[in-house]
């Protein structure tokens, strides 16, 4: 499908120095688009629009001048407080209040489209059937709660103004130099560390960085994306065991997997207070992307194996 771009004016990308933001900006600039990159400071991008810490008082006026589309990637993803109420307050300050402050200023600046990167955690942390956009949200962690509250505020704003809102909920994103759990798995395999993950039969969808960026670009341009929520993921779901083997294959490294039963892994994690980690390693989280196919005529352009090769630096 040939799409007509909405963007003769600059596209504002927040979180431009982040894992996803860098790749998205590179893609857009490679296509000859005008990109306005917003960041906390100029330590990584000299021409960045410096916005400092994001919250309800942040001024976006200069960054929004003349912009048609905003892609809001900036978010707080980690908080050290152990108290869940404190953690939720910290996430809300950036992910809810900061997002809605930006969106209201964008609507006042006559921005046409606001693309918000949310999280599959809004749906929940695990499932027995694939999540879809019609599911009742069941966020289980403060981060996901803050994202859901931002989504709700954005929908209200879209109903009250002429600004179109597009919400994207990705699962875990993997790619070259990824941090978090995927980055840890790659490092463990590179070091040849034996892992007790050889008998896990769950099914989890991830999304490769290139696939997510391609989907964001589609949502920037496609007229039918307006005021929709989309789930996005790779074509193929994997068990944790299969993922490790295929990462090893991409690295050309042997993977040393010990077939420890899942019940024993879960018991050990519970005793160590690591139930969340056990859920991510052993639980299933499948994603139905049929809405993206039907509404946007989109399919993941990069296979899982190719995405893993790129993620391990083997492209």
Tens digit of each residue's pLDDT (9 = 90 or more) over 55-93: 999 999 999 999 999 999 999 988 766 667 888 999 999
Instruction: Give the range among 37-46, 238-247, 261-270, 273-282 with minimum mean pLDDT.
Output: 273-282
Q: How confident is the model at residue 49 (pLDDT cuts 50, 70, 90)?
A: confident
Q: Please compute the mean of the pLDDT values over residues 115-136 and round it to a whole number.
A: 96
Q: Assess whether pLDDT exceeds 80 at residue 11.
A: yes
DSSP state, 10? P
The counts of H helices and E strands in the chain are 12, 9
d(CA 237, CA 230): 18
Q: Look up the CATH number of domain 11-173+207-233+287-301.
A: 3.40.50.720
| Tens-digit pLDDT profile for residues 89-111 | 999 999 999 999 999 999 999 99
d(CA 48, CA 29): 14
Note the pLDDT of residue 262: 85
Indicate the average pLDDT of the chain. Answer: 91
Q: In the chain, pLDDT over 90 holds for what percent of residues? A: 76
CB count within 10 Å of CB 224 equals 13
More confident residue, 313 or 293: 293
Each domain of the chain, given as residue ranges in start order, spans 11-173+207-233+287-301
d(CA 181, CA 63): 33
Q: Which of 287, 132, 155, 142 is nearest to 212 (CA)?
A: 287
| Tens-digit pLDDT profile for residues 215-252 | 999 999 999 999 999 999 999 999 999 999 999 999 99
Q: How confident is the model at residue 50 (pLDDT cuts 50, 70, 90)?
A: confident
Q: Assess whether pLDDT exceeds 70 at residue 3.
A: no
d(CA 96, CA 142): 11
Query: Residue 248, Cα to own-chain centre: how many angstroms?
Result: 24
DSSP β-ladder status, 69-72 and 113-117: parallel
pTM, to two decimals: 0.93
Q: How confident is the model at residue 314 (pLDDT cuts 50, 70, 90)?
A: low
DSSP state, 179? -
Helical H runs in the chain?
A: 19-30, 61-64, 84-91, 99-108, 142-160, 180-191, 209-221, 240-251, 262-271, 275-282, 290-296, 304-311
Largest CA distance in the chain: 57
C-beta of residue 166 within 8 angstroms of C-beta of residue 114: yes
Planar angle of CA 17, 20, 25, nearest 5 degrees: 65
Active site residues: 143
Note the pLDDT of residue 249: 95
């Amino acid at each position: 499908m040939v799409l007509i771009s909405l963007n003769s004016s600059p596209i504002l990308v927040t979180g431009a120095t982040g894992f996803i933001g860098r790749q998205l900006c590179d893609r857009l600039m490679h296509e000859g688009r005008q990109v306005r990159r917003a960041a906390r400071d100029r330590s990584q991008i000299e021409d960045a629009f410096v916005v400092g810490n994001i919250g309800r008082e942040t001024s976006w006026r200069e960054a929004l001048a003349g912009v048609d589309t905003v892609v809001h990637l900036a978010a707080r993803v980690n908080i050290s407080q152990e108290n869940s109420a404190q953690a939720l307050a910290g996430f809300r300050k950036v992910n809810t209040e900061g997002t809605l402050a930006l969106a209201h200023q964008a609507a006042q600046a006559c921005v046409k489209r606001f693309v918000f990167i949310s999280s599959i955690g809004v749906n929940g942390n695990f499932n027995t059937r694939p999540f879809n956009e019609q599911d009742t949200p069941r966020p289980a962690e403060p981060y996901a709660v803050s994202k859901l509250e931002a989504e709700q505020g954005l929908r209200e704003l879209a109903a009250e103004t002429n600004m179109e809102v597009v919400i994207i909920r990705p699962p875990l994103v993997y790619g070259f130099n990824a941090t978090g759990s995927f980055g840890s798995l790659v490092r463990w395999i590179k070091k040849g560390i034996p892992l007790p993950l050889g008998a896990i039969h769950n099914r989890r969808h991830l999304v490769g960085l290139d696939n997510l960026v391609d989907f964001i670009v589609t949502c920037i341009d496609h007229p039918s994306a307006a005021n929709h929520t989309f789930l996005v993921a790779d074509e193929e779901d994997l068990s944790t065991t299969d993922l490790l083997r295929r990462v090893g294959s991409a690295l050309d490294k042997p993977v040393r997997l010990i077939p420890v039963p899942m019940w024993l892994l879960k018991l050990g994690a519970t005793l160590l207070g690591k139930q969340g980690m056990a859920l991510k390693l052993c639980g299933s989280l499948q994603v139905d992307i049929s809405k993206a196919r039907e509404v946007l005529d989109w399919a993941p352009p990069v296979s899982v194996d190719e995405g893993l090769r790129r993620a391990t630096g083997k492209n």
